[in-house]
Amino acid sequence: MTFRYIGSKARVVEAIMRCVGAPDGGRFVDAFCGTGAVAIAASRAGWPVHVNDHLQSASLTAFARLTSREKAPFRHFGGYEGALEALNKAPERQGFIWREYSPASGRHCGITRLYFTEPNACRIDGIRSAIRTWSDEGRLQSREQALLIADLMGAANKVANTAGTYGCFLSRWQRQSEEALVLEPRELPERLPPSTMEVGDVRGVECRSEDTVYLDPPYTKRQYAAYYHILETIALGDEPEVEGVCGIRPWRHIASDYCYRTRAVRALTDLVAALPARRILLSYSTDGHVPLDLLVEAMECSGRVSLHHLGEIGRYRPNQAASAGAAAVGEVLIAVDRPAASSKAAA
Ligand SMILES: C[S@@+](CC[C@H](N)C(=O)[O-])C[C@H]1O[C@@H](n2cnc3c(N)ncnc32)[C@H](O)[C@@H]1O
């Protein structure tokens, strides 16, 4: 299994940063942050960063990447590595992940789901429960809690028996899914610029006129809430009613408008028009269901538009139909500049 975040910009982030440029006094707002690949590049370039996604799992993943040692001292555990060491020894638990997403699900609901082996599912439940307890006892700051949950999601990704997303599981165990789940420390920089996070629909994202807003919406019908449902459950630590062979948590209440061809252009036009920021950078993939010229025409109603071609990246191929299409996706950045936005706000 290779964990795959659909639409991740990890492979074009340098080209994006050339368009973003140096910090200019405002923040860099990554409003559909996903994995935070662009947010962390902006932070390393010196921007104060705000991340948002409608999935808690995505916002936490991105926020964790923006964390420095200074911001996460883990005083109650003698440091970050000490906290991970303690979590790796947390007692295993037969909890929700074990009940719904390991072969134990066959005994509980009659559908045998092979997302995780029983021991690994019990480790996920045990570690998630320990993080909650530490947090309830006041032994973790919220930033430290976010980092540990993100580390747990990362460790779960390494042993998940999937083809890259959680839309379905594989019918036979892959070698890596039979290995024991272990939390591994990431490299934490000593210091990074300030950062904040939010979880919610992009239309409510907290943003100011002096900010640069980066928008990387979905451009295909694949709903992230369904494709990454187990990560969302780990992030939230809840026990939803799940359904179907794959045990998907309820997601339709946050179905994204941008995933529907008929709604996407309108939704993006309204979004850009409503954002108060003076500079908006909109990522576009040729893979998507929206024609570029239509989108550019719509953006011209909001400000001065310029196009930046970022290069090509390999296509996500979940099935044979997708494999039959073009091998590469062209990545474009549509910049919308509205100097009037800042003067209007200042007036
Ligand atoms: C193309 S991905 C972003 C990828 C990201 N730039 C990266 O490099 O990892 C789109 C993201 O938008 C989020 N999303 C979809 N609809 C949303 C909405 N209405 N409000 C906020 N986030 C949304 C998805 O959960 C997903 O994480």
Best of 11, 29, 54, 57 for a ligand 1 pocket test (most atoms within 8 Å of beta carbon): 54
Q: Inform me whether the pLDDT recorded for 131 exceeds 70.
A: yes
Hey, whose CA ends up nearest to atom 5 of ligand 1? 34
Q: Quick one: which atom of ligand 1 is closest to the CA of 257?
A: 19
Q: How far is the CA of 217 from the centre of ligand 1 (A)?
A: 5
Which residues of the chain form CATH 3.40.50.150?
Answer: 1-59+197-221+260-347
Hey, whose CA ends up nearest to atom 24 of ligand 1? 224
In this prediction, residue 192 has a pLDDT band, given cuts at 50, 70 and 90, of: very high
In this prediction, residue 191 has a pLDDT band, given cuts at 50, 70 and 90, of: very high
Q: Inform me whether the pLDDT recorded for 26 exceeds 90.
A: yes
In this prediction, residue 313 has a pLDDT band, given cuts at 50, 70 and 90, of: confident
In this prediction, residue 347 has a pLDDT band, given cuts at 50, 70 and 90, of: very low
Q: Inform me whether the pLDDT recorded for 317 exceeds 70.
A: no
Q: Quick one: which atom of ligand 1 is closest to the CA of 35?
A: 9
What average pLDDT does range 323-344 have in this prediction?
Answer: 75
Q: How far is the CA of 322 from the centre of ligand 1 (A)?
A: 21
Hey, whose CA ends up nearest to atom 7 of ligand 1? 8
pLDDT tens across 173-186, in order? 999 999 999 999 99
In this prediction, residue 320 carries a pLDDT of 54
* Closest to 153 measured CA to CA, from 61, 79, 36: 61
In this prediction, residue 268 carries a pLDDT of 94
In this prediction, residue 331 carries a pLDDT of 95
Q: Inform me whether the pLDDT recorded for 72 exceeds 80.
A: yes
Listed range (104-113, 190-199, 287-296, 306-315) with the worst mean pLDDT: 306-315
Ligand 1 is surrounded, with C-beta below 6 A, by 5, 7-9, 32, 34-35, 37-38, 53-55, 58, 201-202, 216-218, 224, 256, 258
pLDDT tens across 231-278, in order? 999 999 999 999 999 999 999 999 999 999 999 999 999 999 999 999
Question: How far is it, in rounded angstroms, from Cα 319 to Cα 199?
Answer: 31
Q: Inform me whether the pLDDT recorded for 322 exceeds 80.
A: no
Q: How far is the CA of 93 from the centre of ligand 1 (A)?
A: 32
Question: How far is it, in rounded angstroms, from Cα 224 to Cα 98?
Answer: 23
Q: Which fold has domain 1-59+197-221+260-347?
A: Rossmann fold (3.40.50)
